[in-house]
Chains A and B, each alone.
Chain A
Amino acid sequence: MTNSAPFPVYPHRHLLGIAGLNVPDILCLLDRADEAVALSRQREKKKSVFRGLTQINLFFEASTRTQASFELAGKRLGADVMNMSVASSSVKKGETLIDTAMTLNAMRPDILVIRHQAAGAAALLSQKVGCAVINAGDGAHEHPTQALLDALTIRRAKGRFDGLTVAICGDVLHSRVARSNIILLNTMGAHVRVVGPSTLMPAGIEHMGVDVHTSMETGLKDVDVVMMLRLQRERMAGAFVPSIREYFRHFGLDAQKLSLAKPDALVMHPGPMNRGVEIASEIADGPQSVIEEQVEMGVAARMAVMEALLDPAKNNGGAL
């Protein structure tokens, strides 16, 4: 497969968040991702456009799935991929971010993928290095490739965003996935609802372009997409919600609650799932679930982002 498809030139140097992207930017990435899906379903899955390029995955927070997805995406494009896991416990938090960045920068990578526990870490890194930076999750701020893969999944199933109603359910307060999705879906013309207990909603949520629901019964009514969020274990027992049992009873997605949504509603989850906490197993594995497809779309979306950022047609050529 040649890289001759007539994609528009992507104007940004980094992907630090969905904020700041416009409709053509997002469509450009989704169109490229569709092509990457086709490639990934062939026997020969590898391109050579990134031959000679170096990608470094710098993960300050452990994430096997996201790291593997970025690694595979880079390898399918032909890049040399290096994984660096920096256990945050072994060093004083944050102290090494700039130092590590400068060290890695000296190795002349072409793409740095960073995940960090602090909001703004990817932006800070991008100011210090000479290559393209992709935010793979920074604190509770953004996780743009997740929103892109979610959008890709939705578009492939529904064919559009305009007029769709998407319910994002659960721990919105701590969720970078929720923020990126709210921005992207609003930009693309979907209606967004957030559903969850108020203790898990950020201040000012009602001004974030969403309808706020504190019960699943009203929140899921007639929606086209149900997007569940992961509830971190340390937040389950008393701190933000009283118990797992209570949470599942009121906010866990089961067949009864899902029946309120449209019959063809998609069920999504960014993973990893807590079965029996935010989602019942029968739903996670049921016919409306596209959770496995989201994983496949993840690799494609990340390939698309990397290709767009390092498109040789760009005037500045990225870091090339």
Chain B
Amino acid sequence: MSVTVSKGTQVYTNGRIVDPSRGIDEVGAVIVEDGVIAAAGADAHNQGAPEGADVYDLRGMTVIPGLVDMRVHIGEPGGEHRETIASASEAAAAGGVTSLVMMPDTNPVIDDVQLVEFIRRTALETAITRILPSAAITKGLDGVEMTEMGILRNAGAVMFTDGRQTIANAAIMRRAMTYARDFGALISHTTQDADLAGNGVMNEGLFASWLGLSGIPREAELLPLERDLRLARLTGCAYHAAKISCAMSADAMRVAKSEGLNVTAGISINHLALNENDIGEYRTFFKLSPPLRSEDDRQAMVSALADGTIDVIISDHDPQDVDTKRLPFAEAADGAVGLESLLAAGLRLVNANQITLATLIAAMSTNPAKRLGLEAGTLGKGAAADFAIVDLDEPWLLKTSDLKSKSKNTSFEDARLTGRVQKTFVAGTCVYSI
């Protein structure tokens, strides 16, 4: 399988068209010509179907630009039993995700141009959605030696990140950010101070104390984030805080943005939809990095999303198998799969009237596309016809046996969700149908 461009003209009528890139939320049509959007919205509806076009009625359905997920861990190369590029793309399609950025912490690490090319080639040959490689900031993710950012960027790396690792050395971080600026490269960084986090395995606080688990204080996230924001001011680098989780981090981002710095922030859907209490009796599918925080933090993050302090929502898809999860909590691996539940989990916030649908779709599609400089996240004329058809009202139960992902470690096992992807299109071709 691979991405194929649709031929001819297709018209999808009577749908609710939500396109944050153009501020549109209206009943209308989407007209696709040879895999490209010819028109989308009420206007398209009025101009009617051209002769010979295939016409589909979308009454009751909503059309959104395909989601752009900035942070997906895939096991290929090195951990194909957990996830391959092909299986990740199947999962993405089922979740309405048409473009995803793959993390470089594979085995071997994507820190060399040949690996970027391997990912692009494998994606072209096996994936049904767009797979965009990111590359490491430092070779082998060792936090010491810079990668060849110029060459890697030319080869197709859409951003630079050390994946799960935080670069501890401020001088190295400064130099990497300075160098990245010259090439217009985006630096995406996870911030957790390894010493302060220590052997912590969940959010520090009363709940961790009762469970007898070591805690990770919020300051472990904040200290390197504040350092990075200072360095962003010093270097002028385009900086993206990959996944923040607590109120004080949102406050730091708010200040940095008010100063006009070229900085953005992401958050995983888990940290918007769940809190530390979901861990219950040591449920390892809720062991994440950063750890799930308190309900106060979760609410602060929802507010930060609503006010624009947080730009991007990620699935933080991280496939883990039984061997790494069916262990005592402290010994289990971090991470949860999320591509297939990303949108539905986000719709919980919309259904609870905490954010608007436009804010949600912008954070999952338009904003990340913009930040990455992709021609995606829009239903504007001339854009590739990457979109999803969603029934916003369909109630459903997430069953692990239905997941396309090779790994089943979802934080939403048996969760009742409302709103489900019906069909997903990449370049006008249907790649998923319920």
Contacts and interface: CB of A to CB of B under 8 A. Distances in A.
Interface of A: 19, 93-95, 97-98, 116, 118-121, 123-124, 138-142, 176, 179, 202-205, 207-208
Contacts of A121: 328
A208 B328 contact: no
Across chains A and B, which 3 residue pairs bring their CB atoms closest together, nearest first?
A: A204-B206, A141-B212, A118-B328
B274 to A, nearest CB: 19
Contacts of B328: 94, 97, 116, 118-121, 124, 138-139
Given A119-B282, A120-B281, A203 B208 contact: yes
A176 B327 CA distance: 20
Interface of B: 204-215, 217, 281-282, 326-332
Contacts of A95: 327
Contacts of A123: 281-282
Given A94-B327, A139-B330, A119 B212 contact: yes
Given A97-B328, A118-B331, A124-B328, A205 B281 contact: no
Nearest to A143: B212
Contacts of B213: 119-120, 139-141
Contact of A203 (B212, B215, B281, B329): B215
A139 to B, nearest CB: 5
B331 A93 contact: yes
Contacts of B326: 98
17 contacts: A93-B331, A98-B327, A118-B327, A120-B212, A124-B282, A124-B328, A139-B213, A139-B330, A140-B213, A141-B211, A141-B213, A203-B205, A203-B206, A203-B215, A203-B217, A204-B206, A204-B207
Contacts of B205: 203-204
Nearest to A119: B212
A138 B209 contact: no
B108 to A, nearest CB: 23
A2 B204 CA distance: 50
Nearest to B203: A203
B209 A202 contact: yes
Nearest to A93: B331
A87 to B, nearest CB: 16
Contacts of B211: 119-120, 141
Contacts of A119: 211-213, 282, 328-330
Contacts of A97: 327-328
Contact of A179 (B210, B327, B329): B210
Nearest to A180: B212
Nearest to B213: A119
